[in-house]
Amino acid sequence: MGLPLVDLSKDDSEVAAAVGAACRSHGFFYLVGHGLSDALLDDLEAQSRAFFALPEAEKLQIAMANGGPAWRGFFPVGGELTSGKPDLKEGIYFGEELGPDDPRVKAGWPMHGANQWPAGGLRPAVEAYMAGTTRAAHALTRALAISLGLAPDYFLSRYTAQPTVLFRIFHYPPQPPNADGFGVGEHTDYGFLTLLAQDRHGGLRIKVDGAWLDAPPIQGALVCNVGDMLDRLTRGAYRSAPHRVINSSGQDRLSFPLFFDPGFDAVVEPLSLEAAPRGPRWDEADLDAVTGRYGDYLLGKVGKVFPGLKAQVL
């Protein structure tokens, strides 16, 4: 059976019922009715392909190491170790564009600041995509709240008035059929929700109750999934499902995940629900035992996947 599908253009109660069921059964769903046009998605893909086709030296002009603690820019193939081993992908990190006068930047918060924009048409495409997916994510948090019997603004008022928003573009070179390794190793996402556009090549797989399911591309649909903080908040009822990527398409695959997460200084409090059983986790973490600000959880995670860079800039 494939992943569930949610149509965000339906009325509140219908969306909430569909989102709640999908978060409980798979922790993943396709999202349509999100308001992002095919033209916007096509432009983002074309601009991204043009960037990754540049010579490495040109891409390295916006290397993450040059982005300082804002944690933005390009990293080359093998630069990220999602699950302890180098991933077979390269990518660019973006985030909310914040100037030096923003209080979060002034306070010296890591992962907040200015983007490193490459020359050309990528910037407007990224800005349009981030705006559209962020809008859809706010709508989804309303639906999540309703699905849990909470006030519609439960997430907004506690966690996401000033969300942590990170956006990444990944390029997965084709992986030879029997090659070792993964485009992205098995992991769960860290925050509340991930919204991801992918090109037509596929390769994302999701682990549900021990079995790997494909999440093949559906034209115009985003793939959404629950992250660790939503799993923690719902005491395991909404699943942060492990997933990974193997690009066996023989083509260059692109994907566009936007991470819509609690504010950096938000402390996520579990709801008073009966705990759902969680099986063993890929990282052996205990989500019930997480304490402190979301930002600290996030920094602990990203420090592990970019060990060298952490020592250098964070």
Ligand X SMILES: O=C(O)CCC(=O)C(=O)O
Instruction: Give me the phi and psi of 229, to 5 degrees please.
Output: -70, -30
Q: What DSSP element (H or E) covers 241?
A: none
Q: What DSSP element (H or E) covers 83?
A: none
- Judged by CB under 5 A, the stretch of 42-50, 183-191, 201-209, 226-234 that binds Fe ion is 183-191
Specify the residue, 104 or 187, whose C-beta has the smaller distance to Fe ion. Answer: 187
Strand, helix or coil at 169? Answer: strand
**β-bridge pairing 5-7 and 184-187:** unpaired
- Residue 189 lies near Fe ion (rule: CB under 5 A): yes
- Judged by CB under 5 A, the stretch of 14-22, 35-43, 188-196, 301-309 that binds Fe ion is 188-196
- Residue 132 lies near ligand X (rule: CB under 6 A): no
Query: From residue 45 to residue 84, what is the string marking binding to ligand X with x (rule CB under 6 A)?
Result: ----------------------------------------
> From CA 157, how far away is CA 263, in angstroms rounded?
11
Specify the residue, 96 or 189, whose C-beta has the smaller distance to Fe ion. Answer: 189
Of 261, 15, 287, 251, the C-alpha closest to 6 is 15
Of 128, 257, 126, 251, the C-alpha closest to 193 is 257
- What tokens does 97 get? 């564009």
- Residue 199 lies near Fe ion (rule: CB under 5 A): no
**Interface with ligand X (CB under 6 A), residue from 147, 175, 198, 234:** 198
Number of residues that bind ligand X (CB under 6 A): 11
Of 307, 219, 203, 213, the C-alpha closest to 255 is 203
Specify the residue, 189 or 199, whose C-beta has the smaller distance to Fe ion. Answer: 189
Strand, helix or coil at 92? Answer: strand
Q: How far is the CB of 171 from ligand X (least distance, A)?
A: 10
Q: How far is the CB of 310 from ligand X (least distance, A)?
A: 18
> From CA 207, how far away is CA 116, in angstroms rounded?
34
- Judged by CB under 6 A, the stretch of 67-75, 141-149, 196-204, 294-302 that binds ligand X is 196-204
Please spell the DSSP secondary structure of 20-58, one letter per residue.
HHHHHHTSEEEEESSS--HHHHHHHHHHHHHHHTS-HHH
**Interface with ligand X (CB under 6 A), residue from 257, 262, 297, 298:** 257
Q: How far is the CB of 148 from ligand X (least distance, A)?
A: 24
**Interface with ligand X (CB under 6 A), residue from 19, 144, 204, 213:** 204
- Residue 255 lies near ligand X (rule: CB under 6 A): yes
- Residue 231 lies near Fe ion (rule: CB under 5 A): no
